Chain A
Amino acid sequence: AQKVTQAQTEISVVEKEDVTLDCVYETRDTTYYLFWYKQPPSGELVFLIRRNSFDEQNEISGRYSWNFQKSTSSFNFTITASQVVDSAVYFCALSEPISASKIIFGSGTRLSIRP
């Protein structure tokens, strides 16, 4: 069965600190996609990144970076120099094989950035 675990339920840091959100997944499929979504207080889920299982290259987008490690089934998300606007709930998610598009979400990590 597929499962996504986000062990950190809440994280609070001071603005400008770096913060890493952990994500561990389980799947028996060899082909799958991993996602990160942001859910600000407004409630709308905002897509951040999609990574397929064949691409283990780390990715950087501005202050955001993602570390995909197949050996440990982890897909961690780091925010560098955090800002108050980064405060939100962040969800890691896993999709079934490419023939379908069902996404299974983790339980989320609530990130609070204090000024």
Chain B
Amino acid sequence: EAGVAQSPRYKIIEKRQSVAFWCNPISGHATLYWYQQILGQGPKLLIQFQNNGVVDDSQLPKDRFSAERLKGVDSTLKIQPAKLEDSAVYLCASSPTGYTNEQFFGPGTRLTVL
């Protein structure tokens, strides 16, 4: 079974630029999560989708971050414009349902904002 795919693996941009990350969850997984992991910290949930609907985006900085999951499969997370403090690893995870099932994580995208 293929795991959660993410691209790109690394991205370096200058502040005020835009960036987008892509995630393809495990086939059949209804729930998709985006996490931000700042160096030395645990992952922090940014947004959770159940199929193509948003379940929780309470910690998403909506003035600059946006995410979508069209058709309830893959998802994109966008930052526009980026700030220095957005430097982090962005992790995507999926689970079969939204009920505290095990979450399967992708390899992450390491973003550096200069």
Contact = CB atoms under 8 A, between A and B. Distances in A.
B25 interface: no
A43 B4 CA distance: 13
Interface stretch (B15-23, B75-83, B105-113): B105-113
B104 interface: yes
Contacts of B101: 101
Q: What's the interface size class on B, roughly? A: 20 to 34
Interface of B: 31, 40-45, 48, 55-56, 89, 91, 93, 95, 97-108, 110
B105 A45 contact: yes
A100 B56 contact: yes
Contacts of B102: 47, 50
B100 A98 contact: yes
B76 to A, nearest CB: 20
Interface in A87-108: 91, 93, 95, 98-108
**Of A33, A44, A91, A93, most B-chain CB atoms within 10 Å:** A44
30 contacts: A4-B42, A33-B100, A37-B105, A42-B107, A43-B108, A43-B110, A44-B105, A44-B106, A44-B107, A44-B108, A45-B91, A45-B93, A50-B102, A91-B42, A91-B43, A93-B42, A98-B100, A100-B55, A100-B56, A100-B98, A100-B100, A101-B31, A101-B48, A101-B98, A101-B99, A101-B100, A102-B56, A103-B45, A107-B40, A107-B42
Rank and list the top 6 A-B pairs by shortest CB-CB distance, nearest first.
A105-B42, A45-B105, A101-B98, A33-B100, A44-B107, A95-B100
Contacts of A98: 99-100
Nearest to B42: A105
Interface in A45-67: 45-47, 50
A108 B41 contact: yes
A45 B100 contact: no
A100 to B, nearest CB: 7
Given A37-B105, A44-B105, A45-B93, 8 more contacts: A95-B100, A100-B100, A101-B31, A101-B48, A101-B95, A101-B98, A102-B45, A102-B48
